[in-house]
Structure formats: C-alpha cells, structure tokens
Amino acid sequence: MADGEQIDMARSQVFGEAADLYDRGRPGYADALVTEVLEYAALDGRPALEIGAGTGKATALLAARGTELECVEPDPRMAAVLRRNTAAHPGVRVRVCTFEEWDPEGRRFGLVLAATCWHWLDPDRRRDGVHAALVPGGAVALCWNPQGVRDPRLHAALAEVDRRHGLDDTPHGVLASHYGELPGDWVGLPGWPEDELRRDGRFTDLRTRRFREELHYGTDRYLAHLASLSRYRILPADRREQALSDTARVLDAHGGGITMGHLSDLLLARAR
C-alpha cells in the first residue's frame, strides 16, 4: 500500500473517535437538496440505501420525509449516534459494515445516496456495487457540502495558524470567492465524480445542482467541527489541542466566530 493510501485509510477510520463532535459540529445539507433528490428518484414506496451514513446528517432529513432507509456505516461509534438521531423513524435500518462488505440479501433499491463519502469507497468497486444495488432506472445521488470563508482578513489569520501547525485542506483554507460557479468546481477537495459516472455506460441522465447558504459558527461550534475532521484527528493529541487553541484565539479576536459560504453540490444519475 502506498503512503498516500495509508494516510487516506487512517483518515477514514478516525471519525468515530469524535462521533459526538462530528454530529454537533459538521454542517448538514440543504433542505432543497433533499427535495431535489426525492423528486428525481420518485421512489413510490421503494426503499433507499445510504452509504457511509455517519451520524445521520442526510439520513434524518430523508427519514423525516417518510423515506425507508437501509444505512451502511462502518464505524460502530458513528452508527450509535446515527441510531440515536433516527430513533423516531422506524423505517431506518442501520448496518455496521463497509459498503464493500455489505450484503444486499437479494434486495434492490430505488435510490443509493452517498453524502460526502464517495471518495472513501474503493474506486475499483464502488460503481459496480451501486449499480448492483439499484433497480433498473433507480437513482444514485452523490453530494458534498464544501465551505469557504467570507472574510479575507480572517482567512489570512487562520492560514497563518494552519501553516504553523502543518495543517492543509482545512474548511477555512479557502475563501468563499474562490469557488467556481458550477457544482464540483472546488479548491482542495476530493474529485467531483461526474466524469467517472459519465464514462461508465451503466449510468445515464446525469444532472448537477448547487445550493447556496450562509452559515455562521460561534467559536465553540467551529472548534467542534474542526476537531471532528480527519486531518485534526490524526494529529497527536497535544498538537491537536494547541492548533485548536490557536484557532480559537484568532476567532475570538475577529468577533467570536466565523461566517462561511456553504455549498451543497449534488450529482444525480440513473442506472440503465
């Protein structure tokens, strides 16, 4: 295994260490995105499959619309929070395993959703697994929620903290103005999979959408968000705490928080 692959594997396995922080600090998805997904999928009572459901940021929104969901989440600590967050929705079933290990038990689904996790899946197997899980004409929805800092002065001050601690690709590492106009036009984020699906003849009717919001985080919530991220989780504890403490001082000096331009980028496709 190459060094880069080892780092990616390490990052993919650390979220559960901070499952409650992840749930409290991570941004969610726009309600309009969920509406778009459900209108496109036209489930008509068919169940949906969610890959890498985490603590249920997207799950809870779908379940609240009456969607029956099978959720695959590899980390038992994340799955415990997911069960808690969806306890009011009896149509949600949680399976603790990777998507590659998951057994569909002969079932097929009207929708497969992967919210900010497609890049963690095995690139040689993920399209096969998704296509096999879908009914003919079933929908796949892939989405991410990148963010960018509104204030250039705050961005510059936080960049200095990141440089001091050897951090890269942090949520405040990009100015909101640096994002392009099209879905997937990102800076420093995992690759947008539109070309990947377009080259695969088993998927058709590709559509993309972008939803925009503005989010303000108080200092404590933003630190919880950072502390849940893999690039912080893999740091030694003392280095992580110092980086977060230095970040807090910058935020408090700039009014006690940070305002982010928040995007929800969506890619839709159908199984032929």
**What type of residue sits at position 16?**
G
Q: For 69, how many CA atoms within 13 A lie in the half-sphere containing its CB?
A: 30
Three-state SS string over 139-180 comes to EEEEEECCEEECCHHHHHHHHHHHHHHCCCCCHHHCEHHHCC
Looking at the predicted structure, is the pLDDT value of residue 23 above 80? no
Average pLDDT over residues 10-30: 64
Mean pLDDT of the chain: 90
The tokens describing 116, both together, are 């900010």
Residue 156 pLDDT class (50, 70, 90 cuts): very high
Which domains are seen in the chain, by residue range?
3-148+179-216+261-271 (3.40.50.150)
Query: Which pLDDT value is given to residue 126?
Result: 97
Query: Which pLDDT value is given to residue 26?
Result: 72
Can you name the residues that pair with 92 across neighbouring β-strands?
A: 69
Within 8 A by CB and 6+ apart from 55, the residues are 19, 22, 23, 26, 78, 81, 82, 85
Is the CB of residue 139 less than 8 Å from the CB of residue 34? no
Query: Which pLDDT value is given to residue 18?
Result: 64
